[in-house]
Structure 1
Amino acid sequence: MDVERVRGGGGPGRWWGHGPPWLRHRPGEEPGGGRWPWRSTLLLTAFVLVGSTFAAHLQQGERADLDAFARVLLIVSCGMLLWRRRHPVAVVFGTAVTVALYLGAGYPYGPVFFTVAVACFAAVVAGHRRAAWTALGLLCAVHLLVAHWLYRWLPPSGDEPASFGQEIVVTGWVVAIVAIAELARTRREQWARERAERAQAARRRADEERLRIARELHDVLAHSLSVINVQAGVGLALLDADPEQARTALTTIKSASKEALGEVRQVLDTLRTPGDVPRAPAPGLDRLPELVEQAARAGLTVQVEGEPPRLSPGTDLAAFRIVQEALTNVVRHSGSRHARVRLEPAGGTLRLRIDDDGPATGAEAGGSGNGLAGMRERAAALGGTIEAGPRPDGGFRVLAVLPAKATAEAAETGEDQ
């Protein structure tokens, strides 16, 4: 049973509703949409009337003369094509029946068949293939009956059966109509699929961009707010006992908040008008001394071993953010006040190892718990890996292995960032 019939769809096309979803109209809208095809219908009507008159002169004595009823049938068959976009099923059957009456009345063969061809084409392109084929098959069956059997009793008198050559021509016309209509339908569905794929790709790129911006904001804010949180606690504890140390803590808070605002502004600059030049370059491992200084203001001593190698922009940014997030986690979740960052370039990769001596404090400091997930996403986007977990001798270790040269797609992502 047809889907449209099960759903109770109205209209003559409900039994033949096999068109693709992108061609189905919405409730309250005109089926088929678009403008009325006045111009093409008027041109075809003129062509059919003039051509049929010319054909009547050529077939005079062989077929019945064009009378008022014949011209009415021609006009009706052409006029129905006005609705071929809105009601393709009704039009293809209507034109087939009208032309069948025209043939049964013995009127001259001629361009009247173009009306069925146009209606069939519109129905197939609209997705109603079964309806188009059925209407065309019915018309062919009527033609065979009239041309080889019923001609004895139908006008004109003395008519003879159709020749084999004439049947070849008719069959060729039918095959050509079906082939052209199917080709047009296939191309239209292909265009629709391509549009849908482009729209889906655009949505995917937008989702990836939102995720990238969210990850950047998380890394920036988590690090800076952790420093601010620690220094605020120090300032409150020493406000009365050691005002000078409390002043230092407040100065650190001011500096950290200023840096955080600058980095947030830099991240949000990615939402600028396309084509604008970035206001500041993306951070990289060349800013490790700044991270060490910020960690020191939060009470964490960081020892850096190794020199940062030349990296692609995407890898450089990812490495910086991984170190930043790892140190942030030490400040927030570890009782250790000492951490080590080791850079090991080897074999086209960069090994980043961040260790602390623990133990874990269990303090969340308002964190969201997305830090490790963000680090893994950054590494995976570049084709790298992240391992994070407790060390056998105590403390915690983050080990990242990143390609020194990112793939073309990852490099492009890094440049965008």
Structure 2
Amino acid sequence: MNNLVQRFLNYVSVDTQSDESSTNCPSSGGQFKLAELIKEELIALGLSDVRLDKHGYLSAKLPTNIDYNVPAIGFIAHMDTAPDASGKDVQPQIVENYQGGDIPLGSSGEVLSPKQFPDLDGLHGQTLITTDGTTLLGADNKAGIAEIITAVATLIANPDIKHGEICIGFTPDEEIGRGADLFDVKNFGAQWAYTIDGGPVGELEYENFNASNAAVTCSGVNVHPGTAKGKMINSMTIAAQFIAKMPTQETPEATEGYQGFFHLTNMDASVAETKLNYIIRDFDAEQQLSRVKFIKRVAEELNQNLTQGSVKIEVTENYRNMREQVEPFPHIIDYAQQAMLACNVKPNIKPIRGGTDGARLSFMGLPCPNIFTGGYNFHGIHEFISVDGMHKAVEVIVKLAEVTAESEKKA
């Protein structure tokens, strides 16, 4: 466990925040710095076929230790952290034997409170790692990296645990939707894989949102306000009309479970032009299509009623629900459930209200469900992780390698 925590702390010390404005891959230099650090660690462990390409994709293999053929399986995590909060100069706090109540986050004035985050009530007695209230922690997804490597090190140190070939991969730029762009599925070598990128202990996910992005541009005419009558068209007024037509009960803050939403993520506003960015999410493909049609129809109706000014909308698809690619292979989920139960973890099969590299990789021919890391509150300054949960993730990865080898031998 000490090695697991130290690995994690080493990784979060490197700023790997991805940059959506960059066209490079990886989009930030820190990701490559972390990849090089991990590469040396993998070589020192004695893994084979350790590869770091020019785009920051890192992979390696642990050879099988059995004399019969079983499918190679993979474990994948991403190296970048989200743009939503700073990942620079992360100062983790270790809270041992948490007994409830508020946790002050450094000297920032921020607190981690069970009143706001009731998951804390179920973690009494555990060791937690939090932020200092000024940055995110980076458990998403450096915890997954640390857990995968610790699991591989455990397999190496315990050759009596039988396993087939284990393929591991660490990707850049997952948080900005590019993690699978240049992933080499063929050379990775696994027949199926698991992203270790989930939250609380027990999470097992093979459904995710269908995801689209809508860029809405409202165009007006800017004229000096002193002589604007009959001439000025304020694009922000048009944008306000557009926003008012969107359903207020179909937003992230009003939905849960399998409910989809429209989410206005940001706007850039002036009199002459206002740009709105919406993300559109739904688990059902037909409902997602209906949502896309709806937002386009809102733009069309506004244009019909405008005598001057205009609304343009461009919708792009980001990723699709991996369920249709994973369900034909039910043993992939079954093995994960068996491994969790063997580690005294109750599987919690639930949909991902977001996306992972695994969603796109599944459509690239690598079925790829998602497994927990033990982390909470990703993408913000209240992010934290349970060390006990991290340890359980390592146990499950090790047991999953063993269960696969045993089950495939019987098959």
Bin of the TM-score, shorter chain as denominator length: under 0.3
TM-score normalised by length of structure 1:
0.20
Q: Which has the higher strand share?
A: 2
Bigger Cα Rg = 1
Which structure: greater helix fraction? 1
Report 1 or 2 for greater relative contact order, CA contacts < 8 Å, sequence distance ≥ 6: 2
Give TM-score scaled by structure 2 length.
0.20
